[in-house]
Chain A
Amino acid sequence: MPRRDDINHVMVIGSGPIVIGQACEFDYSGTQACRVLRAEGIRVSLVNSNPATIMTDPEFADATYVEPITPEFVEQVIAAERPDALLATLGGQTALNTAVALHERGVLERYGVELIGADIEAIQRGEDRLKFKEIVQSVGGDVPRSAVCHSMDEVRAAVAELGLPVVIRPSFTMGGLGSGMAHTPEELDRLASAGLAASPVTEVLIEESVLGWKEYELELMRDRHDNVVVVCSIENLDPMGVHTGDSITVAPAMTLTDREYQHMRDVGIAVLRAVGVDTGGCNIQFAVHPKTGRLVVIEMNPRVSRSSALASKATGFPIAKIAAKLAIGYTLDEIRNDITGETPAAFEPTLDYVVVKVPRFAFEKFPGADPELTTTMKSVGEAMALGRSFGEALGKALRSMETGTAGFWTVPDPDEEPDVATPTDGRIYAVERALRGGRSVEDVARESGIDPWFVDQIAAFVELRAEILAAPVLDADLLRRAKRAGLSDRQLAALRPEFAGEDGVRSLRHRLGIRPVYKTVDTCAAEFAAKTPYHYSAYETDPAAESEIAPQTEKPKVIILGSGPNRIGQGIEFDYSCVHAVMALREAGFETVMVNCNPETVSTDYDTADRLYFEPLTFEDVLEVIHAEQASGTVAGVIVQLGGQTPLGLAQRLTAAGVPVVGTSAAAIDLAEDRGEFGELLRTAGLPAPEFGMATSFEEAKAIAARIGYPVLVRPSYVLGGRGMEIVYDDETLAGYISRATTISEDRPVLVDRFLDDAIEIDVDALCDGHEVFIGGVMEHIEEAGVHSGDSSCALPPITLGRTVLEKVRRSTEALAHGIGVRGLLNVQYALHGDTLYVLEANPRASRTVPFVSKATAVPLAKAAARIALGATIAELRAEGMLPATGDGGDLPLDGPVAVKEAVLPFHRFRTRDGEGLDSLLGPEMKSTGEVMGFDASFGAAFAKSQAAAYGSLPTSGRVFVSIADRDKRAMVFPVLRLAALGFEVLATEGTAEVLRRHGLEVTVVRKASEGGGPGQETVLDRIKAGEVDLIINTPYGNSGPRVDGYEIRAAAVAHGVPCITTMAGASAAVQGIEAMIAGKIGVRSLQDAHAVLRKARS
């Protein structure tokens, strides 16, 4: 059955900004889909608001719309593009929801667009809990038993049948409100009566709890010929009760017999057919009772998911790519398996290795958030590792985390008793400690719900540890066994102090010739020869063990180090730059080698680089890859400056080990990071920087603050990315900060910088080849300095900076680039305070904004940086056409299109232990997970788009609530008056209302929460909760200590999804956006169109 000939134009919807639960796996899947469709000669139009994605690179679609993924905007794109079909199963829940909304609005029908992949009915059957249960039962599958109850008597009768614990789900409440789990009759009474009361129809669903059951997932694919294959089975180490995204997961399933596995497969296939996913991938989740083997179906996703990305990387079977081919009519047997080159995709991959995925959390960024893992996903990223055993893969995955803890025993044990019963980030460490403390495998397994087989695997580590500690010397046999078990040199060094660190272990290991072999991910357990060099390392003790690295082609090799697991501050943007480096260097005639451990990314697609090593980005693992590659040919260079802080942090040690790090040298990187040397550079160049000092006590800090003046920015000296940074306005809060900074010491002082209140922050990305500096873009932040640049929205070209300032920015950037010795990318952050341009920091590496700038200016900065690192000059790149022939991003036409970047924040994912929302206040510590871009002719329209893309639209009418700190009251007047003129009703707290009244504005006063409510005296919280507020402008006083009202307002806004603006600059931008929306429909335009205009303006 060849591909359908009636589809010539497909629209693909992406997943928008990176948020918790929906990350760059959809860039990977969407990019694959676009590639496949275009290779078939199909026109592809794409909608995705996320500029940091590879898929929104103009070369991946025929028409790329970086526009908000809302039904309104997508409809406009459909009207402009008139596609034949819509493929919405590769852009996560966002794309699927948008497709359903477009269907419900009749848009698809009106424009004659066919939904391919999964039809509306199948999507709805998969998503409707009750309908889905019926389907499962209709094909003979089992589901958790449940009963619909309307009274407490019915509830008790149901529980008598089901047994405690039970899950209570009130019907028709928003966002799971009132649902919970009852373990005792008392809890049942309380929760069920509250649930009945909360339900508008006095109805609750009482469901059998599967908490603590074993959890599995199957990834399936079906073609239009009804052929079905299971691509991968995944077993969760953490039992039911922890979201699969937050669980340690293992592929393939480890603890099922064939009989049980085949039963699961049969049920999965039957459910897939009954739900009616016609073509493409789907994911089904199962729970298995550990004592009886009873198998129940929990849910299914009728689309490509995070697990599909994991399964693709785990098996080498590219689910998204195949799903795209199936959607246009191919059948599985017609599609070739790329890896073997000769067998078809109609088969089930088999693994001769074990894959472990470990989630990466960011609880440290959200103080107050409850760290217990639940069914709401909270992790921000993940790392995957492959090994020849579970232990080896687990060890590699744990050391891929980059949290400071790099596997067992690498940090001192905490004081408290290990708690294995509560699922938390790092429970696996508690399991190890519990076993080490003498508890039995059975005991730990029972208490944690983790299968004894897994617990025993940890026990093996504990036994090996004892053996290593007791051995008189670490001999070759023991060392070899330890490496095979998955221990890193660092772990061994922690156990054997005589090595004085991992370098000592490594030199012994190399002396003994103990090195890893590299195996291949080939979908078939070596049954067929693999054409794609997708490798992972493993240690073998068998002297006949083989490494499978192909000899080099005649091209010189370049190794690009990726960025590891996504985390706040280091995400998809860095993967974008790495992928661009691969593309540019391949084109320039190099053989590219990628090293990374993030399964969500495009960089870890076996199609991206010529060779892929799925490995942790630790010094040890990277060095071994380089050694293996050097053994098979010549390595021309290793690129560390594109993957963010992770590879950059390896630069010095790699250089010291004789590795040819290309681009900006390790010494130059060090210069930029060393405050003393960097300060000297600034002084020499005559560039001002905020005054600062270093303190090891409150007294010292106070003295510095007195010298440089409040407010001051305080932070620990040894962390990056804004960790632990605060702005402090007085001695009292300074004292509070110092007392909380427990690790303060002589070698770990606190940095106290002058904070430039009300300064305009400016971000610059630039290239330097040693001769010339090319300004990529100058971004003006919308929020004032003090909000982390990653959380701040910004505009490109700058919207209020004059020519003189821009000239100053250029000269300063040039001085810095040359002074540091940059060969590649440089990011500089400036603060414009009065007429003075202060240098805040300079980072000689790719920044988060590189993809945004590249898309806004049509210049591929990361590609150029990679070329410069390998010796090309800016002049050559201009001649080649990679860079514009003349001019740069610093002299963009100021009347050209404006791009606005907005950050997306994850506050709504978290709750305090009491179940309250978290404060959404922005500060110097970065909290956002992703970003969107609004692109339009005017700033107002671009800003409005950025808001629509990030949070849903700004309101164009309704009520605005205003509560403003005294220092902002002057700035408040104009924007609030404007909102009133646009028809908004203004609510304000007493003090704010007073000022507004003096400007002749009718204002409704609402009570602060702290003033207390009462009958007829609603507080602002009551009104927010009642859905009576459409927009909130709330600037906080000060920046430290408890500010109860502000916190509660912002938390309520987060909980109820009301747009909440916390700076006056943001408020002014929002007003412009609202005006643009009211003034007329904001249109859409493809990036290709906008870029053509930009290029024309330049030539």
Chain B
Amino acid sequence: MTAVLVLEDGRIFRGQAYGATGTALGEAVFTTGMTGYQETLTDPSYHGQIVVQTAPMIGNTGWNDEDDESRGIQVAGYAVRDPARIPSNWRSRRSLEEALTEQGIVAIAGIDTRAVVRHLRERGAMRAGVFSGPDLADDAELVERVLASPRMEGADLYGAVTTKEPYVVPAAGEKRFVVAAIDVGIKFNTPRMMAQRGIETHVLPADSPFDAITELNPDGVFIANGPGDPATADKPVALVRQALEADLPVFGICFGNQILARALGRGTYKMRYGHRGINIPVVELDTGRVAITSQNHGFAVEGEAGEEWDTPYGRARVTHVCPNDGCVEGVALFSGRAFSVQYHPEAAAGPHDAAGLFDQFAQLMEGGR
């Protein structure tokens, strides 16, 4: 069955329907990870996006019951070149296509994904639609539908993925710390990695009042990754400012980095096509060491290596950059009381090079006692 991927500038790619049929509208972005499609598809940060997978053969290891990073598939749509005909892995429970269909995700296969990537690289991430089955129409009509969909700039999306009710992920073994995690799109692996370090994580809805945090008497505050434009995340930014005023240790990842940076007075901007992959180098400016990181962001914090500035909470600085393009990958207070990174130390998918940041957070909380 035919499917088409329509970009807002009128470029159209034709392939076959994959997963559910119908319409998917969202921002077309590409991810370069060669493994981890299950984690990627279930990562809340991809909410509202049509993900183009550069790895050409997808679905080889099927879909298992352990590797989801949230309650279900989060992407708006999915575009691949060659889906596996059968899954093969001892943990697989169903095929990727079954998972997509069950969860109503409209996808497309058989297109020249590399041509899509080159287009997005040159023109920037843009609105797109995947159409198949009854939703097919003539090209001009489909472009109109794409143009009628909302843009990513200014999109307030974390509300759609945050938990409705608070929940607790207990520490593995002895409980050493309590952390309040502001859920703007948290992945399952983050509390899991906290738990391994004796952290009991209280995952809170993104619009929780500060009282909800203080009630827990936490050792630290964590701000998760998440979708959408950080410029819209005023409430979480206010929450973080309150935490900083209370001198609580703060650690942020991805969207959390942008929120902390905003709380520290920095702006954010939309990148042309973002960083989405699991092979991205980040230089820690203090040591010059390079970590290979998992990343997924279309917005970034303004600034560059070596920058320092004053904030109401003390002097702050850029701590990490991506050597590919100089993009800010981490900010911190000089005091070390608050730090965040633009990449994903919780990986899933991706390398574990940056896992030490969770230890750093634990040490920070340890020192605060």
Contact = CB atoms under 8 A, between A and B. Distances in A.
Interface of A: 1, 225-227, 229-230, 252-259, 261-262, 265-266, 290-293, 331-333, 342-344, 346-354, 388-390, 441, 451-453, 456-457, 459-460, 517, 519, 524-529, 540-546, 548
A542 B110 CA distance: 7
Interface in B105-121: 110-115, 117-118, 121
A544 B13 contact: yes
Contacts of B82: 388-389
Interface stretch (B50-58, B240-248, B329-337, B357-365): B50-58
A344 B281 contact: yes
Contacts of B57: 254, 354, 389-390
Interface stretch (B129-137, B209-217, B220-228, B343-351): B343-351
Interface centre among B84, B89, B348 (most CB of A within 10 A): B89
A348 B277 CA distance: 10
B279 A349 contact: yes
A350 B34 contact: yes
Nearest to B87: A453
B325 to A, nearest CB: 8
A257 B115 contact: no
B121 A526 contact: yes
A1098 to B, nearest CB: 53
Nearest to B53: A352
Contact of A255 (B14, B15, B60): B60
Contact of A453 (B32, B60, B114, B289): B60
Contacts of B87: 453
Nearest to A252: B34
B70 interface: no
B94 interface: no
Contact of B90 (A254, A292, A331): A292
A349 B33 CA distance: 10
B290 to A, nearest CB: 4
A452 B88 contact: yes
A524 B32 contact: yes
Contact of B32 (A350, A456, A540, A541): A350
Contacts of B39: 258
Given A225-B288, A540-B112, A542-B15, A388 B56 contact: yes
Interface centre among B11, B12, B33, B324 (most CB of A within 10 A): B324
A526 B277 contact: no
Given A524-B32, A525-B114, A546-B112, 16 more contacts: A225-B288, A252-B55, A253-B35, A257-B91, A259-B67, A333-B283, A349-B279, A352-B55, A452-B88, A453-B87, A459-B85, A525-B117, A527-B54, A529-B121, A541-B15, A544-B112
Interface of B: 11-15, 30, 32-36, 38-39, 54-57, 60-61, 64, 66-67, 81-82, 84-91, 110-115, 117-118, 121, 277-281, 283, 288-290, 292, 323-324, 347-352
A523 to B, nearest CB: 9
A1 B287 CA distance: 11
A460 B283 CA distance: 45
Judged by DSSP, the binding face of B is loop
A528 B324 CA distance: 10
A291 B292 CA distance: 30
Interface centre among B35, B84, B350 (most CB of A within 10 A): B35
B289 A227 contact: yes
Nearest to B63: A257
B19 to A, nearest CB: 18
Given A227-B290, A456-B85, A262 B347 contact: yes
A255 B61 contact: yes
A351 to B, nearest CB: 6
Given A254-B60, A527-B117, A544 B111 contact: yes
Judged by DSSP, the binding face of A is loop
A659 to B, nearest CB: 28
B117 A351 contact: no
26 contacts: A226-B289, A254-B57, A256-B35, A257-B64, A258-B33, A262-B350, A333-B281, A344-B323, A346-B292, A348-B279, A350-B32, A350-B55, A350-B277, A352-B32, A352-B114, A354-B56, A388-B56, A389-B81, A452-B88, A453-B60, A525-B32, A525-B117, A526-B121, A527-B54, A527-B277, A546-B112
Contacts of A293: 90-91
Nearest to B288: A225
A343 B292 CA distance: 14
A527 B29 CA distance: 11
Nearest to B81: A388
B350 A258 contact: yes
A1 B288 contact: yes
Contact of A333 (B56, B114, B290): B290
Given A333-B281, A542-B110, A546-B115, A229 B88 contact: no
A91 to B, nearest CB: 28
Contacts of B38: 257-258
A331 B288 CA distance: 10
B54 A352 contact: yes
B117 A257 contact: no
B61 A346 contact: no
B324 A347 contact: yes
Contact of B292 (A229, A451, A525, A526): A229
A288 to B, nearest CB: 10
Contacts of A453: 60, 84, 86-88
Given A258-B348, A354-B56, A453-B60, A347 B13 contact: no
